[in-house]
Amino acid sequence: MRTSIAALLCLAATGAAAETEEKELPISEVVVVGTRSESPMLEVPYSVHRIDETLIRSDLYRTLPQALSRVPGVVVQETSAGQGSPFIRGFTGFRNLLLVDGVRLNNSVMRDGPNQYWATVDVHALGRLEVLSGSAGALYGTDAIGGTVNAVSRDITGTKTDVFLRLSSAEESATLRLQHDQTFSDSLAMSFGVTAKSFGDLEGGDEVGTQTNVGYDETDFDLKLQYRLSDTWQSSLVHHQVSQDDVPRTHKTTAAISWRGTSVGSELVRDLDQDRRLTYVRLIGDSPWQWADEAVFTLSNTKTEESRFRLRSGDRQDTQGFDVDTFGATAQFTSASPVGTLTYGAEFYRDDVDSFSSRNPVQGPVGDDAQYDLFDVFLQNQIELDDRTDVIVGLRRTRASAVADSVLDPETDAVIRIDEDYSKTVGNLRIQRSFMSEKLSLFAGVSQGFRAPNLSDLTRFDTARTDEFEVPTPGLRPEKFVSHDLGLKWAAGRHYGSATLFYTDVDDLIIRFPTGRTVDGDAEITKDNAGDGFVRGLEFSGGLSIGENWQLSATMTVMDGEVSTFPTSESELVDEPLDRLLPFTLQTRLRYNAPSRTWWTEAELLHADKADELSTRDQSDTSRIPPGGTPEYNVLHWRAGWQPGGKVSVVAAVNNLMDEDYRVHGSGTNMAGRNFILSVESRF
């Protein structure tokens, strides 16, 4: 784990941003993701972070993945402008879990490595993001390995109309959102919002210049209805819809640029259309029965439609995609027990999958006529040993089943049927101790995680990474993980912070490796549960105020990891660095709040060491990772905000002030060069 001496010296003088005097310290704010019930972050025995709507708007983030970049232990890879995937504690893709208001967004077609699905949640429709870092299998089941993110819808507060406009020069983009909240009575309230986004070419730094074939259009819609049935029961209906048109995978096409030796793709067009619609109904009871302090029932339906068009040369073109219809039902209860507070319940999700391809009559990117079921029961007991010490013990039992009636056997070209069942029980043990009148807390814990093989693992017949083609692999086993955490949190006056040491043990990781054969010129890739290894590191965020108006801020991550793999088609395991391993990173901010609290300004410095701890597959990913690794970068941003009254807010920024050329490790395009961004928000 290499670090920059200059960056560490900078860290010694800084911490993470404190809010103004009138606001609660961020570390004292409430999150749900850490315990499945509302708890102050200072009292949650996990590394947890909260990103509020005000921070999303003031930092001018374009997508949900970008908004996670301020969290320690997270790096956001962007295959293209419309395809962002966070790496959390070394894991990405289907090894992180995304929830929308507690409803699973992950489904059985999510694939290994970075994917685009996290960008199908409209960040401008959210009230906050909650992040839990580390394995959380007992809390959330399969996929909760690197981290779990809960995207929470905006609350309805009174009657008002909100208009938000964001303009960006280097992205050639415009985002317009209209939202209206209406409170009809003490019992009935409604909100709806529409977001339209358009992105054009992307201007890189002074060396790269214009990056073409990166733009796309998106239209989003959301609706929330809340109705209080009685003093005990409250109901809600929520709908989120995102539609993306012609999102290019730029690095696979001839429009890609060669930067520091990266290769240029050979395809003329590779575009993706995506539609995702989530609708759920929720019923919440406040002390509905003598034995229950709270009851929450949720019925949900998520429809995911994906279609990819590829033009390779002349008339060599093809389309492929899938439709996934997911039904979900959950019931959660909270009750007092003789030794604490019990949180328990059951969850069920079923994916119905249809998959198609113009080049494959048997299946599309995953098996056709497929079904995937998840059924979980869980129990957590939060025990208060004394006024300062809490212990959390949790258990979850999961049963997963996968059935695909139409799968192409890569060796015989015959149509085969895949039918697999998995069962797993995982647990956690967490402890938190408060000191100094609850201004300081120490936490420690061990948490198991797991991931049941999904339809992507078992049946995928599709492009993997650069010049790779993945084929179906039945007979895989669940992956197993154990996370160990030791952390410290503090909040004193207007200063706060958190630091966490973590170690995640990896067992039976499903790894991809070449068979020695080729498919249409690409190396054929198969899979096996051969990956054993670890991820370890240090995450830090903290904050201090200087006088009444100045604040210093920083987040830092140091990480290392390796896993056993087959670098070639030879049957010889080799320990290699984890794919796309996050280098040492540091974010620092200096902020000034005017005494009148009507305006503020801040400077932000982003630093990342050279990412040169590369696996064999990283080295072969020549269209995204330069030879020898992704170069170190130091990037300076400047922002300022003005709120002359309670109804208008203006934020202006110059991101990448020095017009540096840089790329986040593993991304398919460079980040924007000098970028002038303006947002205006008006409330009526």
User: Coil, strand, or helix at residue 635?
Assistant: strand
Check: CB of residue 11 under 8 Å from CB of residue 556: yes
Check: CB of residue 567 under 8 Å from CB of residue 579: no
Q: What is the pLDDT of residue 9?
A: 30
Q: What is the pLDDT of residue 494?
A: 81
DSSP 95: G
Write the pLDDT tens digit of every residue in 73-94. 999 998 877 888 999 999 999 9
Identify the helix (H) or strand (E) that includes residue 367: none
Cα 71–Cα 72–Cα 76 angle in degrees, nearest 5: 65
For residue 581, what pLDDT band results from cuts at 50, 70 and 90? Answer: very high
Check: CB of residue 478 under 8 Å from CB of residue 452: yes
From the list 21, 59, 146, the residue with the least C-alpha distance to 449 is 146
How many whole angstroms separate alpha carbon 591 and alpha carbon 599?
Answer: 11
Domain 5-683: give its CATH superfamily.
TonB-dependent receptor, beta-barrel domain (2.40.170.20)
Model confidence at 236: pLDDT above 80: yes
How many whole angstroms separate alpha carbon 434 and alpha carbon 441?
Answer: 4
How many whole angstroms separate alpha carbon 489 and alpha carbon 540?
Answer: 10
Write the pLDDT tens digit of every residue in 451-462. 999 999 999 999
Q: What is the mean pLDDT of residues 647-661?
A: 96
User: Coil, strand, or helix at residue 9?
Assistant: helix
Check: CB of residue 400 under 8 Å from CB of residue 422: yes
Dihedral through CA 198, CA 204, CA 206, CA 212, nearest 10? -80
Bridge partners for 428 per DSSP: 394, 447
How many whole angstroms separate alpha carbon 364 and alpha carbon 453?
Answer: 18
Write the pLDDT tens digit of every residue in 340-394. 999 999 999 999 999 999 999 999 999 999 999 999 999 999 999 998 999 999 9
The DSSP secondary structure of 612-634, one letter per residue, reads ----HHHHH-TTTS-TT-BPPEE
Check: CB of residue 538 under 8 Å from CB of residue 557: yes
- 516: burial class by Cβ within 10 Å (0-12, 13-18, 19+)? exposed
Model confidence at 127: pLDDT above 60: yes
Write the pLDDT tens digit of every residue in 468-512. 899 999 999 999 999 999 999 998 878 889 999 999 999 999 999
For residue 582, what pLDDT band results from cuts at 50, 70 and 90? Answer: very high
Model confidence at 254: pLDDT above 60: yes
Q: To the nearest whole number, what is the mean pLDDT of the chain?
A: 92
Q: What is the pLDDT of residue 672?
A: 95
User: Coil, strand, or helix at residue 368?
Assistant: strand
Q: What is the pLDDT of residue 220?
A: 98
From the list 349, 364, 280, the residue with the least C-alpha distance to 100 is 280
For residue 281, what pLDDT band results from cuts at 50, 70 and 90? Answer: very high
Q: Which residues contact 199 (CB under 8 A, 6 or more apart)?
A: 62, 81, 82, 171, 172, 173, 214, 215, 216, 217
Q: What is the pLDDT of residue 82?
A: 80
- Domain residue extents for the chain: 5-683
User: Which of 23-37, 219-233, 491-505, 553-567 is predicted with the least confidence, judged by mean pLDDT?
Assistant: 23-37
Q: What is the pLDDT of residue 26?
A: 65
Query: What's the Rg (C-alpha) of the chain?
Result: 24
Q: What is the pLDDT of residue 27?
A: 67
Bridge partners for 153 per DSSP: 126
Model confidence at 425: pLDDT above 70: yes
Of residues 525 and 426, the one with the higher pLDDT is: 426
Q: What is the pLDDT of residue 642?
A: 95
Write the pLDDT tens digit of every residue in 150-188. 999 999 989 999 999 999 999 999 999 999 999 999 999
Q: What is the pLDDT of residue 569?
A: 79
Per DSSP (E only), the strands in 458-521 are 462-463, 468-470, 479-492, 495-519
- 316: burial class by Cβ within 10 Å (0-12, 13-18, 19+)? exposed
Q: What is the pLDDT of residue 678?
A: 97
Identify the helix (H) or strand (E) that includes residue 544: strand 522-546
CA distances in angstroms from 334 to 241, 383, 387, 566, listed in the order given: 31, 13, 21, 46
Model confidence at 100: pLDDT above 60: yes
DSSP 522: E
Model confidence at 325: pLDDT above 50: yes
Of residues 525 and 353, the one with the higher pLDDT is: 353
The DSSP secondary structure of 10-58, one letter per residue, reads HHHT--PPP--TTSPPGGGSEESTTTTS-EEGGG-SSEEEEEEHHHHHH
- 336: burial class by Cβ within 10 Å (0-12, 13-18, 19+)? exposed
Q: What is the pLDDT of residue 2?
A: 39
568: number of Cβ within 10 Å = 12
Model confidence at 431: pLDDT above 70: yes
Write the pLDDT tens digit of every residue in 2-40. 333 233 333 333 333 333 333 455 666 888 888 888 888
Q: What is the mean pLDDT of residues 393-403?
A: 98
Identify the helix (H) or strand (E) that includes residue 560: strand 550-565
- 243: burial class by Cβ within 10 Å (0-12, 13-18, 19+)? middle
Place of tokens 């801020």: 553
Q: Please count the residues of the chain.
A: 684
- 123: burial class by Cβ within 10 Å (0-12, 13-18, 19+)? buried
**Number of helical (H) and strand (E) elements in the chain, helices listed first:** 6, 36
Q: What is the pLDDT of residue 636?
A: 98
How many whole angstroms separate alpha carbon 276 and alpha carbon 303?
Answer: 6
How many whole angstroms separate alpha carbon 452 and alpha carbon 108?
Answer: 10
Dihedral through CA 482, CA 132, CA 378, CA 371, nearest 10? -90
How many whole angstroms separate alpha carbon 375 and alpha carbon 373?
Answer: 7
Place of tokens 């492929």: 320
Check: CB of residue 562 under 8 Å from CB of residue 504: no
- 92: burial class by Cβ within 10 Å (0-12, 13-18, 19+)? buried
Q: What are phi and psi of 54, to 5 degrees?
A: -65, -35
Of residues 363 and 572, the one with the higher pLDDT is: 363
From the list 98, 144, 101, 71, the residue with the least C-alpha distance to 556 is 71
Q: What is the mean pLDDT of residues 425-432?
A: 97
